[in-house]
């Protein structure tokens, strides 16, 4: 985001312009005549103040020069962003070449291999140094370089905001899994997504279904008392022509097979044992095969193209996820090479480095359509909560090196247990907390929201460790 903080006049003009946008938005949404009139009065006062600034010749010259520099900076940032997106488009085009061959049930031709390699090679070169010569030629001052970087950050935030609203922030890890798992899904091969709680496994499965097959998936949750009959189907009594008859109603698994849609088995290791035994056989089926439905007198269902099973499962950490059974080796082997571990954001980032993905996630959850933070947020506050989330995620996942070891008790380290047993500032928790603060319009501070989160943790030792992590980032709990 571009700022003019070095000059008080420019900083004042920027703040007035930002407040004008907020007041106009409030006025557009207002349905109370009295409040609307108050907003119009505020609008008139802000416009008067801005006109006064422009009326002073020296101020007007400074503002005109700043706007000219801003336009130049934005042109450079937009050019750089276009280069980034072009590189991504080439990479996606290479993936599409492969996907097309997979969908047709054949291997790549020599020409297709060459095209895909050329597209990926160009994308990788652009990713490493996107339009560097053109950009460096335009960065004639440190201030302009900072401005371009800030503007690029805003453009990336706007994209991240859009992705998050669509259900999934496309980090490097997510893009990698999507590119590799997509062809498998097109073949009808089953895919297994493993990971800790709140790591966006289900959101990734839904995204894979939509972008790969282009269909909404059937979603089946493994929690509760779900039975095999609820998944596959069951007989129901219905009144037909004055008589009561038994009619078989297909469940989500059979509907997905017949309609050519993926089915997501969410938390598959919480599903009933009798279904998992049958799932061993179902995982071997592919589009074009037929399934004899025992519940419907052996009637065959022909599996339509587009069907695939996407299963999610939490890590099998002892005592952490109650009600989950260990998946059998036989079942896991059915997924073959299509098992993917979904790590928390910034996995592998050293303790002392800033967690870029957590920071992007937190910011994308609250920025407006312009990519700007709400006035009640500071960049420092956002950075600190992103770092606290990152530390908690790594401690929860079992990291015990570098600074992470400070949050693992000696007893737990000896037992080989993670520093957090049950609770974590997972990505979805981080999003919920920052959105709560933003939605309160300043009435709930981040300190208060984090205090509520810690107070809701049932595990006493987890409360202590989470408080230690948050207080270490400067938050005041209580």
pLDDT at 132 over 70: no
pLDDT at 5 over 80: no
Tens of pLDDT, residue by residue over 429-461, are 999 999 999 999 889 999 999 999 999 999 999
Residue of 154 and 204 predicted with greater confidence: 204
Could you tell me the pTM of the whole model? 0.81
Q: pLDDT band at residue 120, thresholds of 50, 70 and 90?
A: confident
Nearest Cα neighbor of 341 from 170, 193, 201, 200 is 193
Q: Where are the beta strands (DSSP E) in 137-272?
A: 191-195, 218-221, 233-240, 243-250, 263-266
pLDDT at 138 over 80: no
Task: Please give the C-alpha separations between residue 119 and each of 92, 179, 388, in angstroms, as whole numbers.
Answer: 9, 14, 39
Q: pLDDT band at residue 4, thresholds of 50, 70 and 90?
A: very low
Start-to-end CA distance of the chain, whole Å, equals 33
Give percent of the chain above pLDDT 70. Answer: 92
Tens of pLDDT, residue by residue over 286-300, are 999 999 988 888 889
CB atoms under 10 Å from CB of 259, counted, come to: 13
CA-to-CA distance for 258 and 278, rounded, in angstroms? 18
Residue of 143 and 377 predicted with greater confidence: 377
**Amino acid 317: pLDDT:** 61
Task: Give the DSSP letter of residue 213.
Answer: I
**Amino acid 424: pLDDT:** 96
**Amino acid 129: pLDDT:** 45
pLDDT at 130 over 50: no
Q: What is the dihedral of CA 63, 68, 70, 72, to 10 degrees?
A: -170
Cβ(390)–Cβ(400) below 8 Å = no
**Amino acid 347: pLDDT:** 94
List phi, psi (to 5°) of 375: -60, -25
CA-to-CA distance for 388 and 351, rounded, in angstroms? 11
How many alpha carbons fall within 13 Å on the CB side of residue 94? 19
Q: Which two tokens stand for residue 105?
A: 């049930």
Cβ(182)–Cβ(208) below 8 Å = yes
The whole-number average pLDDT for the span 340-349 is 95
**Amino acid 1: pLDDT:** 41
pLDDT at 184 over 50: yes
**Alpha-helical runs (H) found in 325-459:** 329-333, 356-364, 379-397, 410-415, 427-439, 446-455
pLDDT at 242 over 80: no
Environment class of residue 245 by beta-carbon count within 10 Å: exposed (0-12), middle (13-18) or buried (19+)?
exposed
Q: How does the average pLDDT of the chain come out, rounded?
A: 87
The whole-number average pLDDT for the span 409-438 is 91
pLDDT at 316 over 60: yes
**CATH numbers and ranges of domains, the chain:** 8-165 (no CATH), 186-341 (3.40.50.300), 356-472 (no CATH)
pLDDT at 395 over 90: yes
Residue of 7 and 15 predicted with greater confidence: 15
CA-to-CA distance for 395 and 417, rounded, in angstroms? 10
**Amino acid 320: pLDDT:** 58
List phi, psi (to 5°) of 311: -110, 145
Q: pLDDT band at residue 124, thresholds of 50, 70 and 90?
A: low
Pick the most confident of 37-46, 55-64, 198-207, 269-278.
198-207
Q: Which residues contact 325 (CB under 8 A, 6 or more apart)?
A: 269, 270, 273
**Amino acid 401: pLDDT:** 83
Q: Where are the beta strands (DSSP E) in 227-370?
A: 233-240, 243-250, 263-266, 290-293, 299-302, 309-314, 339-341
The whole-number average pLDDT for the span 249-267 is 94
Cβ(465)–Cβ(421) below 8 Å = no
Q: pLDDT band at residue 411, thresholds of 50, 70 and 90?
A: confident
CA-to-CA distance for 31 and 81, rounded, in angstroms? 39
**Amino acid 126: pLDDT:** 46
The whole-number average pLDDT for the span 213-226 is 85
Q: How many degrees, rounded to 5, is the angle at CA 459 between CA 454 and CA 460? A: 80
**Amino acid 350: pLDDT:** 95
Residue of 155 and 99 predicted with greater confidence: 155
Task: Give the DSSP letter of residue 421.
Answer: S
CA-to-CA distance for 367 and 373, rounded, in angstroms? 5
**Amino acid 135: pLDDT:** 56
Burial 142-165 (b: 16+ CB within 10 A, else e): eeebebbeebbebbbbbbbbebbe
Burial 359-382 (b: 16+ CB within 10 A, else e): bbbbbbbbbeeebbbeebbeeebb
Residue of 123 and 412 predicted with greater confidence: 412
**Amino acid 168: pLDDT:** 95
Q: pLDDT band at residue 318, thresholds of 50, 70 and 90?
A: low
Q: pLDDT band at residue 325, thresholds of 50, 70 and 90?
A: low
Per DSSP, what are the bridge partners of residue 249? 234
Q: pLDDT band at residue 276, thresholds of 50, 70 and 90?
A: confident
Nearest Cα neighbor of 433 from 358, 327, 325, 330 is 358
């Amino acid at each position: 985001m571009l700022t003019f903080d070095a000059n008080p006049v420019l900083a004042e003009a920027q703040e007035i312009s930002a407040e004008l946008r907020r007041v106009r938005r409030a006025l557009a949404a207002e349905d109370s005549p009295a409040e609307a009139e108050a907003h119009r009065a505020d609008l008139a006062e802000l416009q008067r103040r801005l006109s006064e600034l422009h009326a002073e010749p020296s101020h007007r010259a400074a503002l005109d020069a700043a706007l000219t520099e801003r336009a130049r900076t934005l042109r450079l940032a937009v050019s750089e962003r276009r280069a980034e997106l072009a590189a991504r488009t080439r990479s996606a085009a290479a993936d599409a070449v492969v996907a097309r061959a997979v969908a047709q049930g054949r291997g790549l031709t020599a020409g297709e291999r060459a095209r895909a390699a050329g597209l990926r090679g160009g994308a990788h070169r652009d990713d490493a140094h996107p339009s560097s010569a053109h950009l460096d030629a335009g960065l004639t001052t440190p201030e302009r370089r900072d401005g371009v970087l800030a503007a690029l950050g805003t453009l990336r935030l706007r994209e991240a905001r859009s992705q998050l609203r669509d259900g999934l922030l496309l980090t490097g890890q997510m893009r990698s899994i999507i590119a590799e798992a997509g062809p498998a899904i097109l073949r009808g091969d089953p895919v297994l997504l493993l990971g800790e709680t709140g790591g966006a496994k289900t959101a990734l499965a839904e995204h894979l279904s939509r972008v790969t097959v282009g269909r909404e998936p059937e979603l089946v949750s493994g929690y509760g008392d779900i039975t095999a009959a609820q998944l596959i189907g069951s007989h129901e009594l219905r009144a037909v022509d004055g008589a009561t008859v038994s009619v078989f109603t297909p469940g989500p698994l059979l509907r997905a097979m017949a309609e050519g849609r993926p089915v997501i088995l969410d938390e598959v290791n919480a599903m009933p044992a009798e279904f998992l035994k049958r799932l061993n056989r179902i995982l071997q089926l592919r589009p074009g095969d037929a399934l004899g439905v025992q519940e419907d007198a052996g009637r065959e269902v022909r599996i339509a193209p587009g069907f695939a099973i996407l299963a999610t499962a939490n890590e099998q950490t002892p005592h952490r996820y109650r009600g989950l059974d260990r998946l059998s080796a036989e079942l896991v082997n059915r997924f073959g090479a299509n098992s993917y571990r979904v790590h928390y954001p910034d996995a592998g980032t050293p303790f002392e480095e800033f967690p870029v993905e957590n920071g992007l996630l937190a910011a994308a959850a609250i920025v407006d359509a312009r990519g700007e933070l709400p006035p009640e947020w500071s960049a420092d506050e956002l950075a600190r909560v992103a770092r606290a989330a990152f530390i908690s995620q790594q401690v929860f996942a079992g990291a015990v090196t570098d600074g992470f070891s400070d949050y693992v008790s000696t007893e737990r380290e000896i037992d080989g247990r993670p520093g957090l047993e049950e609770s974590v500032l997972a990505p979805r928790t981080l999003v919920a907390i920052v959105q709560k603060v933003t939605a309160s319009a300043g009435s709930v501070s981040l300190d208060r929201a984090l205090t509520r989160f810690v107070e809701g943790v049932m595990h006493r030792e987890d409360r202590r460790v989470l408080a230690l992590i948050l207080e270490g980032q400067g938050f005041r709990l209580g």
